[in-house]
Structure 1
Amino acid sequence: MILQIIALAFRATGGDTNEVFVRFKKAFVSVTAIAVPLLLTGPAFSAQNDRAVERPVLGDANGQHEIHEGIVYFNSNYAGGMYDHSEDINYVGRSFMSWTDEQARKHTNGAGQTVKNNAASVANYDPKRVLRIHFNSGCKGRSQNVGGYKNYNLEKWLKNNNASQCWGG
């Protein structure tokens, strides 16, 4: 391609090498001005930016409402301390935390309490998977299903009687 540009410039100038150099330089600057912005918005550059919107690390209990997570709350109606997680887990040894949103810090009732046998409501932030809250550890026993992007107060028999959560299709 570069040789073709040089040959065209040579023919257009009648063989004047100084004029060929000037035309080649102008063509190079023009092509560069167009190519550089395209390269910066192409796959190599956007891959770096895509990292910010990737799915959270599985099992990341960080106190934020993120896609692909299930969140159990200490109180009914999605209030009080919360515990967020994206994997199948047993609640033993896990604790409710305060919300990270500054406006919601008043919802800290139950923060520090163990999750097992203390959850009253649940929200599913996964669009496709069903979240199951189980009565027993190991995702065994009766369970309540929470569909994608749904939230519920736990049924009376499960409220404050919950031991694990599992995901289904």
Structure 2
Amino acid sequence: MSASVAKRISPLRALAFAGALAAASLLTAGTAAAEGNPVEGVDWDTATSSHKCADQSDQFRFRFYYNSNQAGAWINIGHSVYDLKSVEIGGSGGGYQALYFCDKGNGAGQYVANNAASAYNWFLGYCATVHYNSGYRGAEEHVYPNNGINLTSTKNNNRSINFEAC
């Protein structure tokens, strides 16, 4: 290949490469901006948010279900929750409340703590661990990204949930 042909191709290749990098960064930025980060924030963000009962939420992408097979009433979770039955409201001095299943079917209005039979995790890159006891202790089950499960060792005995990158 002559030097003049190489000079003409090289800028074209550089331009194509730069365009591909720009497109990739836009796609990555769009994905990151759209999804919440469940390892940031505090449990009262879940208790007081309208996202907890939304049909779909980009910020609250984990869902507990009252029945097996992702059926019945549900609640969206957006952050780790130390105790599903005693969530501090608004920080220090705001009081405590339990999380309840939303008005969306069988089990609506029931406590989420010790009443969930299944779960689904839509978070990308974050694994959820459902714990038998409050404080992220006791028997546990993992719900991987884009995956739903019927709870077994924590079925109707779920008291906390923790998220981590996976």
Band the TM-score falls in, shorter-chain normalisation: 0.5 to 0.7
Task: State the partner residue of 1:98.
Answer: 103
Normalising by structure 2, what TM-score? 0.60
Deviations 1:69-123 (A, max 9, x none): 2100000010111011110112101100034xxxxxxxx1000000110000000
Quote how far apart the aligned CAs of 1:64 are: 2.5
Count of residues paired in the alignment: 109
Quote how far apart the aligned CAs of 1:166 are: 0.7
**Residue pairs, 1:28-39, within 5 angstroms:** none
- Contact kept? 2:34, 2:58, Cα under 8 Å: no
Q: 2:115 aligns with which of 118, 127, 147?
A: 118
Quote how far apart the aligned CAs of 1:158 are: 1.2
Task: State the partner residue of 2:12.
Answer: none
Task: State the partner residue of 2:55.
Answer: 64
* Partners of 1:143 and 1:110 in 2: CA distance: 23
* Partners of 1:116 and 1:110 in 2: CA distance: 12
- Contact kept? 1:63, 1:98, Cα under 8 Å: no
Q: Percent identity?
A: 29
* Partners of 1:149 and 1:54 in 2: CA distance: 16
Normalising by structure 1, what TM-score? 0.59
**Residue pairs, 1:1-169, within 5 angstroms:** 54-55=34-35, 59=46, 60=49, 61-67=52-58, 69-89=61-81, 90-92=83-85, 93-99=98-104, 108-155=105-152, 157-169=153-165
Task: State the partner residue of 1:14.
Answer: none
Structure 2: stretches of 5+ with no match in the other structure: 1-29, 86-97
* Partners of 1:122 and 1:109 in 2: CA distance: 15
Structure 1: stretches of 5+ with no match in the other structure: 1-49, 100-107
Higher RCO, 1 or 2 (CA under 8 Å, sep at least 6)? 2
Runs of 4+ in 1 over 3 A off after TM superposition: 53-58
* Partners of 1:96 and 1:62 in 2: CA distance: 8
Normalized per residue, which structure has more helix?
A: 1
RMSD of aligned residue pairs (Cα, Å): 2.0
Deviations 1:116-166 (A, max 9, x none): 1000000001011001110000111121001101000001x3110110111
Task: State the partner residue of 1:33.
Answer: none
